[in-house]
């Protein structure tokens, strides 16, 4: 999983990403947990230890503050949606700047959300189950859209970013925080087996196609990580964009890539899940 320690911010017209472009990625790979059902069960178990295993080393409070800084959470009365909010770790950073009653945490995992409900600073937040690719919010609803550590599980990232555009008000800002495609060959192998690790330029392209303007890309990493991005970790970047016009995204897409209501072969599901967990480990 890709990570660099630089905290510089680049506007899209000037960014020349180097570290993730040079690593070729297969056009098709299994990505066993880049599916909603597999991700659901993955977090059914990971939710038990998530706050104690993931956050201390790979998604720290310092990283959270660094990654949320470009979101410009400058008004306590802002309406904010935290998509893929999980246990509420990122939301804890949001409510430092925005009143909890104005924040909605959305996630497909009831097990993760159960952890968020237990956190005192989040008691006034709205907490709902939902799909990042089909958000239950009206068009032109929120001032800020935040999603941290979720895009890697989306079967169709472009659709999720299009939804981010739709639910924002005119002038609203989306902030997506996620991993970056590794440069080390062994890390690339396990990344391609496990879930989606976008390249830096892919994030930029998805935002552009959705209709966002003033797109900015910021690399993030924990304080203990230094030097070149060699092996990769959980988080890698924070990408922001501004909605320039009200209404729907100008991008037109076809049907969803994954129908979660469609029955699956239990044996195939089990094997995919086991292989994905092995790659994650």
Asked if residue 243 is part of any domain, the answer here is yes
Asked if residue 225 is part of any domain, the answer here is yes
Asked if residue 224 is part of any domain, the answer here is yes
Residues forming beta bridges with residue 213, ordered by sequence position: 242
Asked whether the beta carbons of 81 and 135 are under 8 A apart, the reply is yes
Range of the structural domain that residue 226 is part of: 9-18+29-249+264-280
**Considering the entire predicted model, what is its pTM?**
0.76
Q: How many CB atoms lie within 10 A of CB 199?
A: 18
Asked whether the beta carbons of 217 and 9 are under 8 A apart, the reply is yes
**Residue from 77, 75, 83, 63 nearest 176 by CA:** 83
pLDDT at residue 111 in the model: 85
Query: CATH number, domain at 227?
Result: 3.40.50.150
CA gap 165, 244 in Å, rounded: 10
Tens digit of pLDDT for each residue in 132-146?
Answer: 999 999 999 999 999
Asked if residue 24 is part of any domain, the answer here is no
The helix/strand/coil state of 169 is strand
Name every residue whose Cβ is closer than 8 Å to that of residue 241 and which is 6 or more positions away in sequence: 173, 174, 207, 210, 212, 213, 214, 215, 216
The total of structural domains in the chain comes to 1
Asked if residue 254 is part of any domain, the answer here is no
Q: How many CB atoms lie within 10 A of CB 140?
A: 15
Asked if residue 1 is part of any domain, the answer here is no
The helix/strand/coil state of 213 is strand
Asked whether the beta carbons of 3 and 233 are under 8 A apart, the reply is yes
Question: What is the dihedral angle through the alpha carbons of 62, 147, 212, 1, rounded to the nearest 10 degrees?
Answer: 70
For the record, the structure tokens of 173 come out as 């800002």
pLDDT at residue 25 in the model: 44
Q: How many CB atoms lie within 10 A of CB 268?
A: 9
The helix/strand/coil state of 95 is coil
pLDDT at residue 102 in the model: 98
Mean pLDDT by 10 residues, the chain (281 residues): 37 41 44 56 50 60 92 97 94 98 94 91 97 95 95 88 98 94 76 79 96 95 58 71 97 73 59 63 66
Tens digit of pLDDT for each residue in 83-101?
Answer: 999 889 999 999 999 999 9
Asked if residue 3 is part of any domain, the answer here is no
Asked if residue 258 is part of any domain, the answer here is no
Interstrand relation of 126-129 and 142-148 (parallel, antiparallel or unpaired)? unpaired
With pLDDT > 90 as the criterion, what percentage of the chain qualifies? 48
């Amino acid at each position: 999983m890709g990570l660099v320690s630089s905290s510089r911010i680049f506007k899209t017209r000037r960014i020349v990403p180097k570290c993730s472009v040079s690593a070729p990625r297969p056009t098709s790979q299994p990505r066993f947990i880049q599916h909603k059902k597999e991700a659901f069960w993955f977090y059914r178990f990971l939710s038990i230890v998530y706050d104690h295993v993931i956050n201390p080393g790979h998604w720290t409070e310092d990283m959270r503050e660094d990654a949320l800084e470009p979101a410009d959470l400058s008004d306590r009365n802002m309406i904010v949606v935290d998509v893929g909010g999980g246990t509420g770790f990122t939301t804890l950073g949001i409510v430092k700047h925005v009143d909890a009653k104005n924040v909605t945490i959305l996630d497909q995992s009831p097990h993760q959300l159960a952890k968020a409900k237990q956190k005192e600073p989040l008691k006034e937040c709205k907490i709902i189950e939902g799909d990042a690719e089909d958000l239950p919010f009206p068009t032109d609803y929120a001032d800020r859209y935040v999603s941290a550590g979720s895009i890697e599980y989306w079967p169709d990232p472009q659709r999720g970013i299009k939804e981010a555009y739709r639910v924002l008000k005119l002038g609203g800002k989306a902030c997506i925080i996620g991993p970056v495609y590794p440069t080390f060959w062994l890390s690339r192998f396990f990344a391609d087996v496990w879930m989606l690790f976008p390249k830096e330029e892919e994030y930029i392209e998805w935002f552009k196609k959705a209709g966002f303007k003033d797109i900015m890309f910021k690399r993030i990493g924990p304080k203990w990580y230094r030097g070149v991005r060699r092996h990769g970790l959980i988080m890698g970047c924070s990408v922001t964009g501004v909605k320039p016009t009200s209404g729907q995204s100008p991008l037109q897409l076809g049907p969803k890539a994954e129908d979660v209501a469609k029955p699956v072969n239990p044996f195939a599901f089990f094997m995919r899940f086991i292989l994905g967990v092995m790659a994650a480990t």
